[in-house]
Structure 1
Amino acid sequence: MKLERTLPLPAGYRVRDVLAFHRRDEQGIAEHVGPDSLRKGVMLDGVPVVLAIRFTPASAACVAEIDGVSSPALERHIDDALLSILGLRIDPDPFCAFAAADPLFGPLVRCQPGLRIVQSATVFEALTWAIIGQQINLPFAIALRRTFILLAGRRHSGGLWCYPEAPDTARIAIEEFTSRKFSRAKAETLQRFSGLVASGELDLATGADNDIAQISQRLLAIKGIGPWTVNYGLLRGYGHADCSLHGDVAIRAALQRLLGEEQKPDILRTERILQQYQPHRTMAAAHLWASLAPPADANTA
């Protein structure tokens, strides 16, 4: 069945950034990106769903192609996924106003107007991608992500693979990962994290009694998950506005270039610099990442 939505896009919306983020894997087994369109496969509530989006200057025409029966809960998750993959959760204007006169970020804001944080379709996708990608280079991380989808995901009737959910991931044996170039530590962390989510012991949904701070602490208590993974997951998964990516190598490289220094600032100094931009550190990270990339490839980290 199909579910249709039309989402208005704000003035100055940068379609190219959204398409570049979802075009990271050139093989495109779970995403297909056209000149003005995007198809994204994802498991939602145990159902394979392809989110098909066509962009116009003022709106995004969205069709959810559902391999199964819809429900109110599934429809809510589809709406949430659309907001995330379109980068509509964080309004960039408050940071732009905050940093307009700043000697460090002011020039970046002026040359990158309308820059947004594009997110993963689900929190689980964001956190597993952070686990997969930590401490390895981006091309290898993308290759491992592809393997992960083929191992734990499911194929939609339309042909795209759907990014997996926790129950399917938790069932994959560690040896299945390690025989496909995953380190044992990474494979164990993925299985440990997925098992906790699948069993309900780790609730990733925010609520009155489960806020971002509590979720962060529970994630940090999981062996193999550190501050960078948590902050990246909060950024790409929840659209949290004040994530500090001071441990990110690319963030430090961007600061080095911005400061005109010969060496990257260390992690502690990077943290102190970014603290000046609270409560907008997520958008500060977005501008730093984008400053390292060609304009059409912003938001690809």
Structure 2
Amino acid sequence: MTLARTLPLPPGYRLRDVLAFHGRDAEGTAETVGPDSLRKGVILAGVPVVLAASFAPSAATCTAQADGAISPALERRIDEAFRSILGLRIDPAPFCAFAAGDPLLGALVQRQPGLRIVQSASVFEALTWAIIGQQINLPFAIALRRTFILLAGRQHSSGLWCYPEAPDAARIAVDELTARKFSRAKAETLHRFASLVAGGELDLDPGPDNPLERISQRLLAIKGIGPWTVNYGLLRGYGYADCSLHGDVAIRAALQRLLGEDSKPDILRTEQILQQYQPHRTMAAAHLWASLAPPDDSA
């Protein structure tokens, strides 16, 4: 079945950022990008779905092709996923106004107008990607992510692979992952996390009886998941506006460059610096990350 939507895009929408985020896997296992288009495969509510977006200056034409019926619950998940992968959850304007005169980030924000947080299609994707990417370089993390998708995901009828959900991932044995270059600790954490979600012991859906604070506490109680993973999951999965990424090496490197110092600030000092930007620490992190990217000569 097919579902169609047209989503308005804000003025100054940074399409290249969105395509770059989703185009990190050069092999295009679960995502493919073109000059003005994006296709992403993901399992939502147990159904393989390809989310496709074609971009014009002021709107994105979005279609979801599902290998199954589109129930009202799946339709809601699809709508949420589109907003996430197009970076439409967090409005950057409040942070830009907040930081306009800031001595540390003010000039940086002015150089990067319209910068947004692009998210994963699901909370489970965001958190498993955070676990996969812990303490390894980006190319290796992307290769492990590809392996994870091919092991646990399912192929859509169009041929694109779909990022798995918890029940799919929980069926993969730890030894299957370690045989494919996952460390045992990383493989065990992935399996433990997926099993808890699949078994209903860990509810990732926020609500009045399950606020994000409770979800965060439950995540931190899982062996192998620490504050960085939780904050990254809040950022990429929930679009939470005040994540503190003080443990992130790239954030500390960006601050070192801005401060003009010979070494990175330690984690405690980084946390103290980022506290100045509450309740907008997520967007502060986005600008710090972006400051490390090579200059775009075509801009």
Overall identity of the aligned pairs, in %:
81
Kindly provide the amino acid, as one letter, of the partner of residue 193 in structure 1.
F
Aligned partner of 2:89 in structure 1 is 89
1:54 partner SS: strand
Matched, 1:226 2:209: no
Deviations 1:168-189 (A, max 9, x none): 1001111000000000000000
Cα distance, 1:46–1:295 mapped onto 2, change above 3 Å? farther
Output the CA distance in 2 between the equivalents of 1:293 and 1:25: 17
2:13 partner SS: coil
Output the CA distance in 1 between the equivalents of 2:275 and 2:263: 20
Q: CA deviation at 1:294?
A: 2.6
2:5 partner SS: strand
Aligned partner of 1:161 in structure 2 is 161
Residues 118-157 of structure 1 aligned to structure 2 (within 5 Å)? 118-157=118-157
Output the CA distance in 2 between the equivalents of 1:243 and 1:286: 10
Output the CA distance in 2 between the equivalents of 1:113 and 1:212: 29
Output the CA distance in 2 between the equivalents of 1:186 and 1:8: 39
Q: CA deviation at 1:70?
A: 1.0
Output the CA distance in 2 between the equivalents of 1:30 and 1:58: 26
Q: CA deviation at 1:23?
A: 0.7
Output the CA distance in 2 between the equivalents of 1:257 and 1:168: 42
Q: Structure 2, unaligned stretches of length 5 or more?
A: none
Output the CA distance in 1 between the equivalents of 2:79 and 2:154: 21
Q: CA deviation at 1:55?
A: 0.3
Output the CA distance in 1 between the equivalents of 2:295 and 2:96: 18
Output the CA distance in 1 between the equivalents of 2:17 and 2:283: 14
Q: How many residues align?
A: 297
Matched, 1:26 2:26: yes
Matched, 1:65 2:60: no
Output the CA distance in 2 between the equivalents of 1:165 and 1:295: 37
Higher relative contact order (CA 8 A, sep 6+): 1
2:25 partner SS: coil
Cα distance, 1:84–1:295 mapped onto 2, change above 3 Å? farther
Deviations 1:244-286 (A, max 9, x none): 0000000000000000101000000000000000000000000
Aligned partner of 2:248 in structure 1 is 248
Output the CA distance in 2 between the equivalents of 1:261 and 1:94: 29
Residues 199-278 of structure 1 aligned to structure 2 (within 5 Å)? 199-278=199-278
1:217 partner SS: helix
Aligned partner of 1:175 in structure 2 is 175
Output the CA distance in 1 between the equivalents of 2:47 and 2:223: 30
Output the CA distance in 1 between the equivalents of 2:286 and 2:212: 20
2:231 partner SS: helix
**Under a length normalisation based on structure 2, what TM-score does the superposition of the two structures give?**
0.98
Output the CA distance in 2 between the equivalents of 1:90 and 1:131: 23
Output the CA distance in 2 between the equivalents of 1:229 and 1:95: 23
**Under a length normalisation based on structure 1, what TM-score does the superposition of the two structures give?**
0.98
What is the root-mean-square deviation in Å for CA atoms of aligned residues? Answer: 0.9
Which stretches of structure 1, 4 residues or longer, exceed 3 Å deviation after superposition?
none
Kindly provide the amino acid, as one letter, of the partner of residue 34 in structure 1.
G
Q: CA deviation at 1:295?
A: 5.1
Q: CA deviation at 1:69?
A: 1.0
